[in-house]
Structure 1
C-alpha cells in the first residue's frame, strides 16, 4: 500500500509541470492577460514567445517575472504603454509564468 501511494506521489509530481503548462492559457484568460498579450504576436504587450526567448536559461526567470507582473512594468519592452500591477494569487501567477516561459 505504501509503495502505491509513493508511486502515485512521484507520478503526480512528474506530471505537475505539464498540467500547469496546460492550464496556463486558461488561468491567463481568467485574469484577462490575453487582452494585451498573445502567444505569437505583440498586441499591447510583448508576445509570450518573445518573453520566453528573452529569459530562456535564466535560473531566476520565474521569480523575476512574478515580481514584474505584481509590480507592473514600463519601458522594458520598448512600448509606450505600461503594464499596471496585477493582483493574482501565488498559485495562479506561478501557473501563468511557467506557461509563458514554456512558449517556443
Structure 2
C-alpha cells in the first residue's frame, strides 16, 4: 500500500489504538526498536513490507534481541499495512 494512502496522523492513531506505542516510539528505543530504526534496517528491502506485516500479525523474536514481540492477530490487516507502510517511510509526522 502506498504511504500516501494514509496520513501520518492516521497511522499514528492506528498505532496508538493497537498498543504499538507501548513498546515502540518513533525516534527512540523503548522495549522494542524505534520506528525509525526499523525503517533504517529495512531500507531498500522489497520484501520488508510483507515480512513486517507478518511479524506484526504473528509476533516473533530474535531480530532485535531476545525479548519477543507479541502477536496482534486482532489488528485489522488493512491497518497493519498502513502502519507498516508509514514505519518504512521513516514514520513521518507530516
Q: TM-score range by the shorter chain?
A: 0.7 to 0.9
CA contact (8 A) 1:72 1:82 kept: yes
Q: How does 1:6-85 map to 2 (within 5 A)?
A: 17-22=3-8, 23-78=10-65, 80-85=66-71
Alignment match, 1:93: 80
Which of 1 and 2 has greater Rg?
Answer: 1
Which of structures 1 and 2 has the larger relative contact order (alpha carbons within 8 angstroms, sep 6+)? Answer: 2
* Counterparts of 1:60 and 1:66, CA distance in 2: 10
The answer to which structure has the higher helix fraction is 1
1:19 to partner: Cα distance: 4.5
Runs of 4+ with deviation above 6 angstroms: none
CA RMSD, Structure 1 to Structure 2 (Å): 1.5
Q: What TM-score do you get using the length of structure 2 for normalisation? A: 0.85
Gaps of 5+ in 1: 1-15
CA contact (8 A) 2:3 2:89 kept: no
Number of residues of Structure 1 aligned to a counterpart in Structure 2: 88
